Amino acid sequence: MFDTLSERLRRTLGSLTGRGRISEADVDAAMREIRLALLEADVNFKVVKEFVARVREKAVGHEVLESLSAGQQVVKIVHDELVELLSAGDRTFHLAGNPAVVALVGLQGSGKTTSTAKLARHVIKLGRRPVLVAADPYRPAAADQLETLAKAIGVPVHRAPVGTPVVDIVRGGVEAARRQVRDVVIVDTAGRLSVDEALMAEIADIDAATHPVETLLVVDAMTGQEAVSVAQAFVAAVPVTGLILTKIDGDARGGAALSISAVTGVPVKFMGTGEKTDALEVFHPDRLASRILGMGDILTLVERAQEVVDQKQAAQLEERLRKGAFTLDDMLDSMQQMQKMGPLGQVMSMIPGLGGLAGEAQAAVDRGELRRTEAIIRSMTRAERRDPTVLNSSRRRRIAAGSGTTLPDVNRLVKQFTEMQKLMKQLSSGGRRGALGALAGRR
């Protein structure tokens, strides 16, 4: 979502860091660029104006302009102000109470039902036992949709016959939680086409009857500034404690995500990054700011890696890396582990310095290059995988035929691997070993 903005900001800031001394005029030129980039990304104009003014004020100070690292310092100011812009209120996800009631509200199609299931997975990871409540008394299909999602993740759903008042459904859900010894109740409410009084009254009733510890407003980030006005209307009418921004994986320009907290004063607590129930990220302003500025997002990456990567295998890999004994088998392993972490382009965009390569890497995946690489390695014998120097041309031809690729494909892979091995040796002897070295050397 932030690709275009990110590219423009990186180019602008890159021109600042690329030189020794910078002048006030340089800062002003950069600020003009940043202003345009933000406006084009559909960030609220008032937010842009204030943001640029704050950055400029700090950047033209004596200490900054007169230092030798002025360019870098301006980048840091932009980063810190971006973090500030994305941070509002208390971002803690509260789960006090037994059961803790969490209500999801929002317009039709914003992603409430999907987010309900995603949140259920999230609270399970926190060691809690959720029950979901289908609080849509108008469309039985809505409860069916929630049930399907819940079944896939093994979580019970409380539902009631069509026509049951919403408050009664939610109360019933709280009772069901007590009966089944479940300590979190996540309520999926019915959507409306627009912000209307009936909807607000319904949410207020749920609030009065069950005192949710969190009332999370689900907004579709793809709708741009519309999302911001919808959020403003909700926040004015009901006690919203946080936002879930969905469809961050889409190709909208990102302005909504960047301005919504600044405009409403309500913190974003989660981001939806895909249709599947595991596509939910806890919102970290500093990480998003770094990602946008191309500084990578190592923390998210490390967390994701911890979730999907086999720790024992990773430790073994690290050990072999340290000894400089990285083989084609390891390459195959790490490729497979890497793919479990998500689309390669997305993963790369989180690694500092590799953000710019993300698009190209994803394109390579889409062209089937990873699959070809896998096929080639699988067509080698164990001895060949351990020591590719034995690969003479007849062996290479055999491998090409066996993997359904061509001789140049095989040659290219062997060359890439040899270069990678060299790089690994340098990294490990330089002390920068570990999973990150392996990741960074992937391409």
Q: Does 113 bind ligand GTP (CB under 6 A)?
A: yes
Identified binder of ligand GTP from the candidate list 255, 274, 285, 296, rule CB under 6 A:
274
Following CA atoms 15, 18, 24, 29 in sequence, which dihedral angle do they give, to the nearest 10 degrees? -10
**What residues from 177 to 206 belong to the interface with ligand GTP (CB under 6 A)?**
191
Q: Select 113 or 373, whichever has its Cβ closest to Mg ion.
A: 113
Q: Does 247 bind ligand GTP (CB under 6 A)?
A: yes
In the complex, the smallest distance separating the C-beta of residue 189 from ligand GTP, rounded to whole angstroms, is 8
Residue nearest to Mg ion (CB): 113
Q: Does 254 bind ligand GTP (CB under 6 A)?
A: no
Identified binder of ligand GTP from the candidate list 71, 255, 267, 272, rule CB under 6 A:
272
Distance from C-alpha of 219 to C-alpha of 259, rounded to nearest angstrom: 13
Looking at 62-70, 122-130, 247-255, 342-350, which segment touches ligand GTP (CB under 6 A)?
A: 247-255
> Exposure pattern of 37-56 as b/e (b: 16+ CB <10 Å)?
bbbebbbbeebbeebbebbb
**What residues from 278 to 307 belong to the interface with ligand GTP (CB under 6 A)?**
279
In the complex, the smallest distance separating the C-beta of residue 137 from Mg ion, rounded to whole angstroms, is 13
Identified binder of ligand GTP from the candidate list 142, 217, 256, 317, rule CB under 6 A:
142
In the complex, the smallest distance separating the C-beta of residue 361 from ligand GTP, rounded to whole angstroms, is 21
Q: Select 56 or 112, whichever has its Cβ closest to Mg ion.
A: 112
Residues making up the chain, counted from first to last: 443
Residue 247 site contact among Mg ion, ligand GTP, none (CB < 5 to 8 Å, cut-off depends on kind): ligand GTP
In the complex, the smallest distance separating the C-beta of residue 374 from ligand GTP, rounded to whole angstroms, is 27
Positive/negative CA dihedral, 260, 264, 265, 270: negative
Task: Identify which of 165, 208, 161, 159 has the alpha carbon closest to the alpha carbon of residue 187.
Answer: 159
Q: Select 191 or 437, whichever has its Cβ closest to ligand GTP.
A: 191
In the complex, the smallest distance separating the C-beta of residue 259 from ligand GTP, rounded to whole angstroms, is 19
Q: How far from 240 is each of 103, 170, 400, CA to CA, in Å?
A: 10, 18, 60
Distance from C-alpha of 314 to C-alpha of 60, rounded to nearest angstrom: 47
Helix (H) or strand (E) holding 281: strand 280-282
Q: Does 113 bind Mg ion (CB under 5 A)?
A: yes
Task: Identify which of 117, 12, 20, 15 has the alpha carbon closest to the alpha carbon of residue 66.
Answer: 20
Helix (H) or strand (E) holding 101: strand 100-105
Distance from C-alpha of 11 to C-alpha of 76, rounded to nearest angstrom: 15
> Which x/- pattern over 78-107 shows residues binding ligand GTP (rule: CB under 6 A)?
----------------------------x-
Residue 259's SS3 state is helix
Q: Select 218 or 328, whichever has its Cβ closest to ligand GTP.
A: 218
Q: Does 241 bind ligand GTP (CB under 6 A)?
A: no
In the complex, the smallest distance separating the C-beta of residue 436 from ligand GTP, rounded to whole angstroms, is 28
DSSP code per residue over 177-245:
HHHTT--EEEEEEPP-SS--HHHHHHHHHHHHHH--SEEEEEEEGGGTHHHHHHHHHHHHHS---EEEE
Q: Does 67 bind ligand GTP (CB under 6 A)?
A: no
Widest CA span in the chain = 77
Q: Does 73 bind ligand GTP (CB under 6 A)?
A: no
> Exposure pattern of 144-183 as b/e (b: 16+ CB <10 Å)?
ebbbebbeeeebbbbbbeeeeebbebbebbbebbeeeebb
Residue 368 site contact among Mg ion, ligand GTP, none (CB < 5 to 8 Å, cut-off depends on kind): none
Residues forming contacts to ligand GTP in the complex (CB under 6 A) are 106, 108-114, 142, 191, 246-247, 249-250, 272-275, 279
* Site residues, Mg ion (CB under 5 A): 112-113
